[in-house]
Amino acid sequence: MDPLLSFATACKQFDLPAWSLRVARAKGQIAVLELPNGSHNENRSKPSAVLRVRASDAAKFASAFHTRKKQRKALSVGAGLMTVTEIAEATGVHEETVRRWIRNLELPARRVAPSGYAVAKKDLDAFIRRAFTK
């Protein structure tokens, strides 16, 4: 029989972020079992439940999660693109300065992750020529 794992154990064992199994559960991507744990929380009228996931289900989800993560990373910053960190190192300015240039639309960029940007090297070269040579 397939062992049942707590969310925390599954995340640790399969190198998943803590939020990922909760989101997968909400989307119906992974089956979750609610087992009574016998403890009673004074803030609740009934005993709390422990959420468990089958190890095989967690392994399948983790495999798909990590594959998508690698694909997003490969697509996000490809040949000819630079990250904010790379631009900051190349130009000798702080990363926040690069982000400000992007926010102010001085430096064309595309969003590649919830908190990341990528800039085409040709756009960076044009920006540097425009901004630093007068």
Tens digits of residue pLDDT in 94-125: 999 999 999 999 999 988 877 788 899 999 98
Domain at 81-132, CATH from 1.10.1660.10, 3.30.450.20, 2.50.20.10, 3.30.70.20: 1.10.1660.10
Q: Where are the domains of the chain?
A: 4-70, 81-132
133 sits in the region (left: phi over 0; alpha: psi -120 to 50; else beta) called: beta
C-alpha–C-alpha distance, residues 63 and 59, integer Å: 6
pLDDT digits (tens, 9 = 90+) for 44-77: 555 556 788 999 999 998 888 888 777 666 554 5
pLDDT digits (tens, 9 = 90+) for 76-86: 455 688 889 88
C-alpha–C-alpha distance, residues 51 and 22, integer Å: 10
Mean pLDDT score, 33-41: 64
Q: Which pTM was predicted? A: 0.49
Instruction: Give the CB-side neighbour count of residue 16, counting CA atoms within 13 A.
Output: 25
C-alpha–C-alpha distance, residues 33 and 6, integer Å: 10
